Structure 1
């Protein structure tokens, strides 16, 4: 099925996350309790397991994971000679990684509706501006905003 949007207007994203701590035992005591609470909900009506046994899943939950890599791509050129341009941002410092990603996206344009993208746990909030429906070009503006 063909996309209703021209391919050159789509920003393709791949975001990789990891757990903030490599093992459950490394979590500070208050975070261990938070994970236990989360695990109770995850394990409800499932096979028996402990919070420690399922900690490997924590990377996909915003409050327990962190972004370590964002790759984005755009297609350009005519269909017969279309090129894919890819840029990746990676590193252990999530705030720096997200700020560098925001800087790139700010170059793509400015839209209208703000959508918060990350939880506010790390002292940074990202806002995304999107164009009105049906706009012929993709436009996204990300802006790190200090929490305060």
Structure 2
């Protein structure tokens, strides 16, 4: 199927998320209790009452990956087109990054509504996009009371109705549902630059809350998108992009 997809009709994307609050102590009492319940679900050794210190560390390490306890601080997208003059592929990378999640999500969803809200024509591609990026975006759209674009609203959809979502992780699984392979590993294996040469996902919360460097997060997120595009090109047995084919736009 992927061989028949025109890369110009694919919107590549990646998101970066952080905890909703800078630390566990900033939560109100209700959310502290709810976090303790959540922590027990994914940390089986937490039987009974977990200590404040352990809950604080878990919140620091894990809250950002849950849409109920985190927020999106950056969505980066990439589009590819073929240059009419030299026939080389060109990619344009753009980030929606803001401390105001409502503003960020509104800007991103307006892009989708205006240009990509047609599942029969356009595709969305990311690494683990089906299990993480798309569900997270949709949940945060609901939290912020913003409308869901039809192409991202997967409620009640059959598997053949979601073929516009191209997950590069799923493509690598080849039916092996237990297998998880990071983008960093695939970059090393398939010979394209790693997106993790500065920070990785575990650093994003610190860079956001402590360093307050949203620009660094956006640049890292764009590198993830670029790596996903390179992986997609490898799947299609096409040449990788060179530096002169890549543009970062505001």
TM-score range, shorter chain: 0.7 to 0.9
* Higher RCO (CA 8 Å, separation ≥ 6 residues): 2
Equivalent pair of 2:20/2:69 in contact (CA under 8 Å): yes
Asked if 1:101 is matched to 2:101, the reply is no
**2:58 aligned partner:** 54
Question: 1:80-110 CA deviation, whole Å, 9 max, x = no partner?
Answer: 4111011111111111110011112222143
Equivalent pair of 1:118/1:125 in contact (CA under 8 Å): no
What is the TM-score with the length of structure 1 in the denominator? 0.74
More strand by share: 1
Equivalent pair of 2:113/2:149 in contact (CA under 8 Å): no
Superposition pairs of residues 103-122 of structure 1, within 5 angstroms: 103-111=110-118, 117-119=138-140, 120-122=142-144
**1:40 aligned partner:** 40
Secondary structure of 1:108's aligned partner: helix
> Which of 66, 76, 87 is equivalent to 2:71?
66
More helix by share: 2
In the TM superposition, residue 133 of structure 1 has moved relative to its aligned partner by: 7.1
Unpaired stretches in structure 2, ≥5 consecutive residues? 121-134, 153-160, 165-250
What is the TM-score with the length of structure 2 in the denominator? 0.46
Runs in 1 of length 4+ with deviation above 4 angstroms? 131-135
Distance 1:134 1:27 in 2: 39
In the TM superposition, residue 134 of structure 1 has moved relative to its aligned partner by: 7.7
Unpaired stretches in structure 1, ≥5 consecutive residues? 136-148
Equivalent pair of 1:40/1:51 in contact (CA under 8 Å): no
Equivalent pair of 1:69/1:90 in contact (CA under 8 Å): yes
In the TM superposition, residue 126 of structure 1 has moved relative to its aligned partner by: 3.7
**2:157 aligned partner:** none
Give the aligned CA root-mean-square deviation in angstroms: 3.2
Q: Which moved more, 1:9-18 or 1:102-111?
A: 102-111
**2:81 aligned partner:** 76
Residues 3, 15 of structure 1: alpha-carbon distance in 2 compared, 3 angstrom cutoff: farther
Paired residues in the alignment total 132
**2:97 aligned partner:** 90
Q: Which moved more, 1:37-46 or 1:15-24?
A: 37-46
Equivalent pair of 1:73/1:86 in contact (CA under 8 Å): yes
